Every structure is written in structure tokens, then in C-alpha cells.
Structure 1
Amino acid sequence: MAEITREVSEVLEKALALSTQDRGLVIDRLIASLDEGPAEEGVEEAWADEIKRRVDEIRSGKVKMIPGEEVRRRLAARLLDGRK
């Protein structure tokens, strides 16, 4: 791991003094800044095609939507089973 410079240390100290909500905002902005490079050719179009395909599957009844609470319940049950 790279050595932390004084400047980075100062930024971290100030960031850690922020409220939880403000730290979350800082994290979101920092992560977003990592993705600001040039997009690979065709990625946007590929995601648009994938979204359209999934919407079509839902509308046609080919796939069934699961409520978020049900997904959370199933995941919690799987996690608990894995700990046994």
C-alpha cells in the first residue's frame, strides 16, 4: 500500500470529523470521480440494450418481479444458513 502523505492525512482527518451523512456524500463524489474517464466504445449502447431486454421480459411476463422485502428476507435466510 502507498505511503500516506501529509496532505492525504490532513484530508482524511477532516473527512473523518464530518457527520456520517457528509462522509457518505464525500465517498460518493470520490467514487464517481474514479469513473470519469473515457467510456469504452459500445458500453452505453450495450447497457441500453440490456435494460430494454429486461423491461421487455418483465412486460411479457417471462420473468417475475420479486418485492424488495422478499429479496432481503431470502438473502438473510441464506446468510444465516451459511453460518451454521
Structure 2
Amino acid sequence: MTETVRELQEKVLTLPTDERAALAELLLASLEPKSSAQRAWAQLASRRREDVVAGKVSMVPGAEAVARIRAKLA
């Protein structure tokens, strides 16, 4: 590992958890090319995560979500 990378690592590890997560997501995405569909899903997931973090929406347990959908389809 180069000195530059070590210095960067030290700085990154002092960031708040949400900023480190966003940076990790960006770095991982840069490692492999994605199709346009994969990029669209990744962007949607990022927007939804941001909405949850910002308190704009609340998450619902999976079982509850499925029950709601089944009730609407019945």
C-alpha cells in the first residue's frame, strides 16, 4: 500500500458511518462495469436509502409488506 493510500485510509476511517458507506458504495461500483439496467437499479436503491436516512420514508418488515400486497390482491 502506498503512503498516499495509507493517509487516505486514515482520513476515510474518521468519517461518519453514512459517509463511509456512500464512499464504499462508490468505490465498489467503480470496480466492475454495469449494464444500464444495473445502474438504474443501483441509482434507485441509493435514492431509497437516502430517503430512509433522511427520514422521508420508513421501512416496513418484509412479512408485513407481503401481507399488505396479498390483502390488496385478494
Q: TM-score, normalised by structure 1?
A: 0.40
Q: TM-score, normalised by structure 2?
A: 0.45
